[in-house]
Amino acid sequence: MSPNLEGTLKSQVPALLLRRLFGAGARRDAPRPSPSPSPPPAGRRRVFVQTESGCVLGMDLDRGDNAHTVKRRLQLALNVPTGGTSLTFGDRVLENDLSSVRHDSPLLLTRNSIHRSCSTPCLCPVSEDFEQKDCGGLVEILGSSSGSVRRLVDDVAAGIMGGLDPVPIDSGLGGSYYFRNDEGDRVAIVKPTDEEPFAPNNPKGFTGRALGQPGLKKSVRVGETGFREVAAYLLDHENFANVPATALVKITHSVFNINRPMNGGTPAHDHKPQVTSKIASFQQFIAHDFDASDHGTSSFPVAAVHRIGILDIRIFNTDRHGGNVLVRKLDGGTGRFGCQTELFPIDHGLCLPENLEDPYFEWIHWAQASIPFSEEELEYISKLDPMRDAAMLRGELPMIREACLRVLILCTIFLKEAAAFGLCLAEIGEMMTREFRGMEEEPSKLEVVCMEARRKVDEWEPFSPSVEQGEDMDFQFSMDVLGGYSDVIRSPRFICSGLKGSFRNPLTKLVESMNEDGDDEEDRKSSDRFSSAEFSTPSLHRTTSSKTSSNSSMHAPNRSADEQLPSSLCFVRLSDMSAEEWHVFVEKFQELLKEALEECKAAAGQRMKQRLGTSCKF
């Protein structure tokens, strides 16, 4: 154990003892005689402020504190320059009043309209007395949590105090660590938000962006996969899909990676390990024999596949491959469904995107997905309440963006209607998945319904003068944190008659520009490819002009992180609607969905026969 960590642990022994005696919410300066976590004194809140470079400081706010005092404390404790910065809380920019910030909330300090290249240093300064100024425990849970999570937190803290260092995980693109209890058993997997792919402190070389900028998926921002992991767990009501217990935590240890120099000095890897605090997802470790990519799927229980698929549909999972379904072998068929294997879905950081895009459901190709839902599954689906789920997430994860909640609501409505209509899991997944034909990407059937619903919303609300003149309305993917990354998404203002009608105006393509300088003229040329024609489904070309291709090949080594990512296309945007427009959109969506479901059901019989075959054994 490093000397720095040993000194820190000694100073925090009382905190851990109080946590064990009085619950996870107790602290040294405010012990409570209650066995469960207690709320802070009236008007006082504990918050966790994170900089773009990943540094984290926990602090207690009094009723009179404001954004200026928070920045001042950061500057003194971490030596962070706070000029030209803003405090953000999910979608909200905190000008000065902090009354909307709840207890145990994470805040992000972002730079205002800074244009920084990938080579610009992103300092992660830590003062020598950092730990003395952050008086929190080794592991602090952000928000509420279940009893199982609190027990895991105590086990991990005991393991750290016992000198059992975490074990870095080599697989994956981001930084993740096995944490152990005092007996040396792996009990939790911790993924710091600033070590995600493209985040400042990624230990595997995938860096280049600040927290809050578009990430591996353009509709999921860097540093925001952690709360999505928690959201998937919270939405798995009654542990229906077997998602392991998950929470968002602030955790302190010297094992964590820091890429940038400390206080402008020599690189961090030339120093002895530095004790640092991180905001991270904290998930129960599941002992397993292999994952679904290492084994044939025919032995998987039908009910287990269905339950994972139901969750994936609701949260619009864009990354459900076999590697994030853990498989545990059981002797004598003693599992939940009397079978010899048990499935555990993990890695939900790329769910609930801010826009509809192309999801990935590997189970579409599994035979179990073509079996009709059972009565128990249909009853579970019928009882889902998307509005209640959205309200629950707003309460449990107040930093979640409203666009993510709209995706949840839309997909849950879609699942309920499709299941009630008699579609099986594979058919529902296919309706959400885009198709590639040649070099063109076509919107999914779900997106086509959304596009038509959006058109009806635009008809319901009169166009603004600029739109009536034929101009497109530009919306930035991020209002205040993208800086120099100019990924502009254009809102569709198209006119077509019904789902099978024809275009009178070309479909305006929603493009996330791959070129930082962007060329509006090139965008207009690209849109003109979609001339008026009989409508089957609109498609987007992935091809570019020979000039663009040539330039890309010439300057490939010097491209930014944005340019190196594959293009992410968006056919319809949900986040730019007002609350009233969103209400109308949902109504129109439900009306149009019935017609789309009838068309899908009519063509489903032959596909099911081809998919099932005769050799599958369950």
* 98/193 same-domain check: no
The C-alpha torsion from 406 through 408 and 411 to 413, rounded to 10°, is -80
Same domain, 142 and 246: yes
- Domain interval for residue 60: 45-111
User: Final residue of a domain: which of 96, 111, 126?
Assistant: 111
Whether 190 and 77 map to the same domain: the answer is no
Domain match, 146 and 281 both = yes
Domain boundary among 229, 251, 285: 285
- Alpha helix (H) ranges present in 48-146? 67-78, 130-133
| Within-domain flag for 51 | yes
Instruction: Work out the burial of residue 486: count CB atoms within 10 Å of its CB; fewer than 13 is exposed, 13-18 middle, 19 or more buried.
Output: middle
Same domain, 94 and 141: no
What is residue 392's three-state secondary structure? helix
Which residue type is seen at 200? Answer: P
Q: Clarify whether residues 167 and 226 are in a common domain.
A: yes
Whether pTM > 0.75 for this model: the answer is no
Q: Cα dihedral angle (373, 377, 379, 382), rounded to 10 degrees?
A: -80
CA 525 – CA 211 distance, rounded (Å): 34
Domain count, the chain: 2
Residue 64 lies in a domain: yes
Q: Are residues 59 and 98 in the same domain?
A: yes
Q: What is the pLDDT of residue 337?
A: 63
Structure confidence at residue 180 (pLDDT): 96
Whether residues 74 and 201 share a domain: the answer is no
Instruction: Determine which helix (DSSP H) or strand (DSSP E) holds 158, and give its type and residue range.
Output: helix 147-161
Tell which of 111, 145, 166 closes a domain. 111
Q: Which residues neighbour 615 within 8 Å (Cβ) at sequence distance 6 or greater?
A: none
Amino acid identity at 543: T
pLDDT given for residue 612 in this prediction: 43
Same domain, 177 and 91: no
CA distances from 485 to 82, 117, 344, 460, 515 (A): 21, 9, 37, 34, 9
Per-position DSSP letters for 414-477, written without gaps between them: HHHHHHHHT--HHHHHHHHS-EEETTEEEPPHHHHHHHHHHHHHHHHSPPPHHHHTTPPPEEES
Instruction: Tell whether 90 and 159 lie within a shared domain.
Output: no
* pLDDT score of 497: 36
pLDDT of residue 447: 95
Read off the tokens for 321.
């491959």
3-state SS assignment for residue 37: coil
Structural domain includes residue 469: no
Mean pLDDT, 10 residues at a time, over the chain (618 residues)?
Answer: 48 43 37 43 79 84 86 84 84 83 86 49 42 69 86 94 94 94 95 94 91 90 94 96 96 89 48 82 95 88 96 97 93 67 95 94 96 97 97 93 96 97 95 87 93 90 47 41 36 37 34 40 42 41 38 37 49 89 95 88 58 40
Helix extents (H) in 497-618: 520-527, 546-554, 561-564, 579-602, 604-612
Q: Is 358 exposed, middle or buried (0-12, 13-18, 19+ CB in 10 A)?
A: middle
Is residue 67 located within the same domain as residue 167?
A: no
User: Is residue 94 domain-shared with residue 147, that is, in the same domain?
Assistant: no
CATH of the domain at 94: 3.10.20.90
> Would you say residue 545 lies in a domain?
no
User: For residue 351, is it within any domain?
Assistant: no
